[in-house]
Amino acid sequence: MVYLTMHTMIQCTCEHCGVVFFRAKTSYSPGRTKYCSRACVGAATVAKANKERYARVERTCRTCGKVFTAKRHVVLEGHGLYCSTACYRKGSQRSFTREQSALHFWEKVQRDNPDECWPWTGGLTVNGYGKAQAGWLSGGPTVGAHRVAYALTYGDIPAGLFVCHRCDNRRCCNPAHLFLGTPADNSADMARKGRAVSGPKLHPELAIRGEHIGTAVLSEAQVREIRARNARGESQRKLAREFGVAKSTVGRVVRREYWKHV
């Protein structure tokens, strides 16, 4: 700070905003008169706290041993253990073992009669399959629950093979209902059960399409209404605004490029 004595006032420079201000000699205190206002005192205090909070400290990655830096507040919160997302995933896989997976996995499976389906009660994918945490099996954060059930019961799944359902219930985790198959076996099983979207179908009603797809926006009733109202002369633009979809989507629905089965 720069000080200049002028009669009974002392000229000072605010350390936060740089404004020149004056303090009476009677209220001036060396080392304490640093700021021109309470606002600058508060702002400087916050800036100092943030500087300490976000200061970077050296850490050693638990997975690869590389030295890296992490923000101090992240370390204080118990994080900042890995140098990258890849190392985090590898570290998580090691810490979440097969035994730990088995302990937590079966708690989310409704096991009743050995001959009946055992539905997964946890989270589901958009396609209706259960998803579970098992980095030791998948190499990623989540994997199909039916694959975990098979691996925990029969052992590791050979690379390139699918775990298929005899019961055709995607949520089922009963090992007795599961079998291994190649991609060709899986496709043949899907077609045999009538779930193929194209080609001959023994049971077309079982195909996963239309409003049964997790990402579907429209329902079958709305599709029929759109086609009927468009046939009566209502514009596609108006229908698109009303049903919350793009005009091009309405056009494809009307031309039966979408929702062909309705």
What whole-number distance in Å separates Cα of residue 194 and Cα of residue 200? Answer: 8
* Domain span at 11: 4-53
Q: Which residues of the chain are under the pLDDT cut of 70?
A: 1-7, 31, 89-98, 100, 134-141, 193-208, 212-214
What amino acid occupies position 117? C
**Residue 210 falls inside a structural domain:** no
Number of Cα atoms under 13 Å in the Cβ half of residue 165: 21
pTM of the model: 0.45
With H, G, I as helix, E, B as strand and everything else as coil, classify residue 78.
Answer: coil
Q: Which of 72, 95, 118 is the last residue of a domain?
A: 95
Structure tokens at 4: 């200049």
Q: Which amino acid is at 219?
A: S
Residues 154 and 166 in one domain: yes
Pick from 244, 218, 25: which is nearest to 11 by CA?
Answer: 25
Q: What is the pLDDT of residues 12-40, one digit of tens each?
A: 888 878 888 887 777 777 767 788 888 88
Amino acid in the structure at residue 9: M
- Give the number of domains in the chain: 4
Q: Do residues 177 and 221 share a domain?
A: no
260 belongs to a structural domain: no
Is 19 domain-assigned?
yes
pLDDT digits 0-9 by tens, 185-209: 888 877 776 666 555 454 555 556 7
How many whole angstroms separate alpha carbon 253 and alpha carbon 219?
A: 12
**105 shares a domain with 80:** no
